[in-house]
Amino acid sequence: MTAVTQFVCPTSSDTIRAGHRLGENLRPGDVVLVSGALGSGKTTFIQGLVRGYGVDAVVTSPTFALIHVYSTGDRTVVHADPYRLKGAAEIATIGLEEYLDTDAVVAIEWPERLGDLISESAIRVAIIAGPDEARRIHVVLPERRQLGAG
């Protein structure tokens, strides 16, 4: 049975805190798929996730670079954004698959662009923007995983 946690985030600081809470609960090799409309707060959520996982880095959107890698000590987070890519052939050229079988945490915006690369064991995050910049964030963890108290 999967575990679902919902956050209501009226501000971007709340969105960062929600990401931080998930980051505190990540394990090496976890894949986090973050979906939401353009401007919904995906990168903001991942900023918190990176810090919560223990990586001290300035997190920016990889929309044009496609992949950013953040590391501190023995912890690495790979942040990918395949939004601009079209099809499996283009996605194969960015090297994302190389990170999927490592100890790096891989956070992917726009995961629907990945097709068959999406794993059943991935953590799924859906960000739904509401009025006044409020967001509802749904985190779906795979079987036998739960978010610890934050």
Phi, psi (rounded to 5 degrees) for 19 = -65, -40
How confident is the model over 13-26, as pLDDT tens digits?
999 999 999 999 99
pTM of the entire structure? 0.89
Closest CA to 114 of 103, 100, 102: 100
CA distances from residue 142 to 34, 94, 104, 108 in whole angstroms, order as listed: 15, 27, 18, 16
Side chain identity, residue 24: E
Q: What is the pLDDT of residues 100-145, one digit of tens each?
A: 888 999 999 988 877 777 778 899 999 998 877 789 999 998 876 6
β-strand partners of 70: 77
